[in-house]
C-alpha cells in the first residue's frame, strides 16, 4: 500500500495545502506561465485526499476549487464593482458567491471520485485524472459554461503543446493530471522499493512529455506561402463612455483616425462593438468606410445588430461582427453570451435590483448555431467574439469552415487584472488546436496576431491607443482535434471510470 506523507498532518494543515494547491494552478497560466506547477499541484491534492472518505472529499474538493477560483478569477470583482455600478460590499459578496459556487463543482466531483473508487488506492490514482477532466468538461457547458482556468491551457508555452492539435486542451489536461498522479505513485513505489513498477511508470510518463516537442513539429495543416497584409486598431476607449451617445462621434473619429494610413490593407480589424450603434443607425458610417477602402481591402468590425424574429413577434438584438468592402461579405452573430454582461438570467426578477443586473446592452440574443465565415477576398475568417474563444470544441468545429481565425473583444471589463492575459492565452490555445493563424482585436488590450503554433508574432501593449500592422497566412486542412473534438478524450475518460472501476482493480488495496 502507498503511504501518505500528509496522513498525520493536522486537519487545518491539509486544508491549507488544498487551498495552496488550487492557487498554484493559477500560476501555471498567464501572466506567470509556470506550467511545471500543474503536476505539482495535482500531486499535493492527491497526497491530502487519497485516503479520505467521500464526505471528506466533498469538503476537500470545494477547498481546492476555492483556491483555484479565488486566485484565478479575481477580475470578476472589477466587472461587478467598477463597471457594474455596484457598491463594494455587494460586489465582494457577489464575487464570493461566484467563487464558492464554482468550488462546489469540484466538491461534487471529488465526492463522486470517492464513491467510484471506493477504498482502492490504485483505483483512486487511476480515476483521479479522469474525474478531473470530466469535471472540466462539465464546467465548460453547465449553465452556459465557464471554460476558464484549464490546466492544459498553460502548455501553449509548455512541452505538451504538441498534443493540443491532436487531443485539444482536455487531452493536455489529462496528461498533466495523470503526471501528478504518477508522481505520487512513483514516490510511494520508490519508498516501498518496487523498482520495476517505478521504472515502468516513470518511463511511460516521460514518454508522453517527450512526445510533445516531437508532435509540435508536425505540420497538421498547410499554411499558405502568400501572406495577407493586415492592420488592427486598439482604440482604448474608456468603458464608462462606451455606450454614451454623447461620445459616439469621438469613438468613431478615433478608429477612423487610426485607420487613415491603412485603408489599402487586405484585412483591417476593429474590435468588439467598435461601432457602438446598430446597423440601421450606422448606415452613413458604413458607407463612409466603404468609400475609403481600397479595391481589395476589407474592414471587419464589431457592431450591435438587430433582426426580426417571427417566433418572438419582435426584434432580437445581437452582438455581431460585420465585413465591409467590395471583396468582403458576411455578418456573424455571437452564440456564447456572457451571463449578466450580455443577457440577464431570470431577468424578470433580477432587473433593477442592483446596477450589475442592468448593464448597458445586456439584452442580446444568441445567434444561430451554424453560421458561415466572413469573406475577405479568398480568405474565410471564422469569428469568435470575446468569451467564445474560451470554448475549445466550439472554435474547433467552426474552424473547419474557415482558413483563418479572427476574434474581437472588449477586455475593458477586466481592468488592469490577470483576466486579459488569461483571455489571450486561451486564444493562443485555440490557434494551436486548429493550426491556424488568429488575428485578435481588442478595445484596450491585448491586441495580437497569433501564428499556427499559438505563438504571438506581434502585439500592442495594454491601455495604449495604437495599431498593429503585419502579415498573416491562411491554412488548409484540419487537425485531428478539429475533426473529432474532445470526444476521444472523453471516451477514454468514460472507459477509465466504467471499466477500471469494475473490472481491472480488485477491491483490496
Q: Which residues are catalytic?
A: 272, 334, 386
Q: d(Cα 286, Cα 274) in Å, to the nearest integer? A: 12
Q: Which of 295, 299, 245 minimizes the C-alpha distance to 270?
A: 299
Q: Which three cell numbers, joined as nine digits, stand for 297?
A: 481591402
Torsion of CA 465, 467, 468, 471, to 10 degrees: 160
Q: Which three cell numbers, joined as nine digits, stand for 488?
A: 476521444
| Cβ atoms < 10 Å from Cβ of 242 | 18
Using alpha carbons, list the distances in angstroms from residue 303 to 280, 340, 363, 379.
11, 19, 14, 21
DSSP state letters, 61-91: HHHHHHHHHHHH-THHHHHHHTTTT--HHHH
Q: Are residues 394 and 386 in contact, defined by beta-carbon separation less than 8 angstroms? A: no
Three-state secondary-structure class, residue 336: coil
Q: Which three cell numbers, joined as nine digits, stand for 252?
A: 468613431
Q: d(Cα 485, Cα 16) in Å, to the nearest integer? A: 37
Q: How many CA atoms lie within 13 A of 304 on its CB side?
A: 18
Three-state secondary-structure class, residue 18: helix
DSSP alpha helix (H) spans, 82-156: 88-117, 121-139
Stated length of the chain:
509
Q: d(Cα 261, Cα 246) in Å, to the nearest integer? A: 27
Q: d(Cα 308, Cα 55) in Å, to the nearest integer? A: 52
Q: Are residues 440 and 427 in contact, defined by beta-carbon separation less than 8 angstroms? A: yes
Amino acid at each position: 500500500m502507498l503511504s501518505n506523507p500528509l496522513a498525520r498532518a493536522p486537519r487545518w494543515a491539509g486544508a491549507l495545502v488544498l487551498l495552496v494547491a488550487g492557487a498554484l494552478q493559477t500560476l501555471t497560466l498567464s501572466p506567470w506561465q509556470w506550467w511545471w506547477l500543474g503536476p505539482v499541484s495535482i500531486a499535493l491534492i492527491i497526497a491530502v485526499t487519497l485516503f479520505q472518505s467521500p464526505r471528506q472529499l466533498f469538503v476537500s474538493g470545494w477547498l481546492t476549487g476555492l483556491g483555484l477560483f479565488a486566485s484565478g478569477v479575481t477580475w470578476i470583482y472589477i466587472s461587478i464593482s467598477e463597471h457594474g455600478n455596484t457598491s463594494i460590499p455587494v460586489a465582494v459578496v457577489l464575487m464570493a458567491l461566484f467563487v464558492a459556487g464554482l468550488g462546489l463543482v469540484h466538491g461534487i466531483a471529488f465526492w463522486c471520485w470517492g464513491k467510484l473508487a471506493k477504498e482502492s488506492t490504485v483505483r483512486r490514482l487511476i480515476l483521479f485524472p479522469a474525474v478531473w477532466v470530466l469535471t472540466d468538461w462539465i464546467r465548460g457547458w453547465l449553465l452556459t459554461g465557464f471554460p476558464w482556468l484549464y490546466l492544459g491551457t498553460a502548455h501553449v508555452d509548455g512541452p505538451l503543446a504538441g498534443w493540443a492539435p491532436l487531443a485539444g486542451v482536455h487531452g493536455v489536461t489529462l496528461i498533466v493530471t495523470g503526471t501528478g498522479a504518477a508522481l505520487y505513485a512513483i514516490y510511494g513505489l520508490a519508498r516501498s522499493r518496487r523498482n520495476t513498477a517505478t521504472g515502468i511508470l516513470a518511463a511511460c510518463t516521460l514518454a508522453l512529455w517527450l512526445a510533445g516537442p516531437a508532435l509540435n513539429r508536425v505540420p497538421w495543416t498547410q499554411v499558405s506561402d502568400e501572406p495577407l497584409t493586415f492592420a488592427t486598431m486598439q482604440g482604448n476607449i474608456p468603458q464608462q463612455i462606451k455606450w454614451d451617445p454623447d461620445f459616439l462621434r469621438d469613438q468613431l473619429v478615433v478608429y477612423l483616425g487610426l485607420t487613415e494610413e491603412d485603408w489599402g490593407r487586405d484585412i483591417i480589424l476593429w474590435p468588439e462593438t467598435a461601432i457602438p450603434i446598430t446597423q440601421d443607425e450606422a448606415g452613413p458610417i458604413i458607407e463612409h468606410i466603404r468609400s475609403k477602402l481600397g479595391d481589395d481591402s476589407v474592414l471587419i468590425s464589431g457592431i450591435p445588430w438587430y433582426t426580426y424574429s417571427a417566433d418572438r413577434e419582435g426584434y432580437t438584438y445581437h452582438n455581431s461582427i460585420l465585413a465591409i468592402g467590395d471583396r468582403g461579405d458576411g455578418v456573424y452573430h455571437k452564440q456564447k453570451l456572457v451571463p449578466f454582461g450580455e443577457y440577464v438570467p431570470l431577468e424578470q426578477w433580477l432587473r433593477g435590483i442592483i446596477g450589475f443586473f442592468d448593464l448597458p446592452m445586456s439584452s442580446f440574443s444568441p445567434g444561430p448555431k451554424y453560421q458561415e465565415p466572413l469573406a475577405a477576398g479568398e480568405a474565410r475568417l471564422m469569428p469568435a467574439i470575446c468569451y467564445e474563444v474560451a470554448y475549445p470544441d466550439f472554435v474547433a468545429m467552426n474552424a473547419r469552415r474557415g482558413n483563418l481565425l479572427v476574434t474581437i473583444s472588449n477586455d475593458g471589463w477586466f481592468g488592469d487584472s490577470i483576466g486579459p492575459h488569461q483571455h489571450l492565452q486561451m486564444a493562443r490555445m485555440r490557434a494551436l488546436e486548429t493550426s491556424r493563424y488568429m488575428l485578435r482585436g481588442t478595445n484596450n488590450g491585448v491586441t495580437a496576431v497569433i501564428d499556427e503554433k499559438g505563438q504571438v508574432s506581434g502585439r500592442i501593449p495594454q491601455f495604449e491607443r495604437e495599431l498593429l500592422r503585419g502579415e498573416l497566412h491562411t491554412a488548409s486542412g484540419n487537425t485531428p482535434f478539429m475533426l473529432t473534438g474532445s470526444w476521444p478524450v472523453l471516451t477514454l475518460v468514460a472507459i477509465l471510470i466504467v471499466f477500471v472501476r469494475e473490472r481491472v482493480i480488485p477491491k483490496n488495496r
